[in-house]
A and B are shown apart, each in its own frame.
Chain A
Amino acid sequence: MARLFSPVANTIARASLVAAVAVPVGAIVMGSVVSRSPANTNVGVAFDQPVPFSHAHHSIELGIDCRYCHTSVTKSSSAGIPSTETCMSCHSQIWTDSPLLEPVRQSWAEGKPIRFASTGEVGWNRVAKVPEFVYFNHSIHIARGIQCNECHGNIQEQHMTAKGKPFFMKWCLDCHRKPEKALYVDEQQPDLTPQEKVFAFYRKIQEGAKLSARELALKKGREYQPTAAELEKGREMVQKMDIKVKTLADCYICHR
């Protein structure tokens, strides 16, 4: 009787056994790695935009306050995106011939929203977005003194805007369970309200003032591990502001 299996079959069998375990495990690992990588989260990935707007130039080099363009950030859930009129309030006077600003001028002349000069696509590509079933509110976070950089990374240093943090639920809950991690007082200006502190921070960056370790990390969009003393201070602020920490992680706080 002829042999049913050649000697190679042993190797194949062993390899199959390994593959049977390795392939699914690998697929799961790959899946989770990919889903956490910028390929999916877009962290640090700058999108093409109708106008190559630079936050670094406008906020640091020129010192324009965030609220000049993001007008509703202290009032509403949405921070607001500037209208063409806002751009034109300066650019009708300066850089009036810049070819980069052609889409802005065109929008203003036509009375139609800004569009890509190349494709004609309307609007900006959205960079920071929470899923549809998440109801994020900018105003309450600013009112509590949460820095923009906590979520938007090193936004003042970006020449092309990119997402600063991956916006995973775990990351949100991290703060909602331990808000003391993100609450701090600016020791140089301790009398500011939490909201004033948020915007004073940018003036400090812009003026090149001396930054604390935490502020430096915020500016660079890096993780910061507060010291035990800072955490204690944060807990005091939680008390003072009457933040009901246990409710912060309730589902209905963000989902409804």
Chain B
Amino acid sequence: MTPEIESWLAAAQADADRRGLPELKPLLETLARSTAALREADEQLRLRAQPDDHHASNP
């Protein structure tokens, strides 16, 4: 996980505590790992963008 995502996670978990939803914290960790994978995929796509990648229509 990048420092940005780690700091986002810490803030999100603190907010979950503040809102009385501590059971949300492990789910936020899962989300953070998924966000890291999403951003990595986005970087890959930008680096290896194929001509049509940004022109596909919404489904």
Q: Do A and B come from one complex?
A: no
Enumerate chain B interface residues (CB-CB to A < 8 A). none
Enumerate chain A interface residues (CB-CB to B < 8 A). none
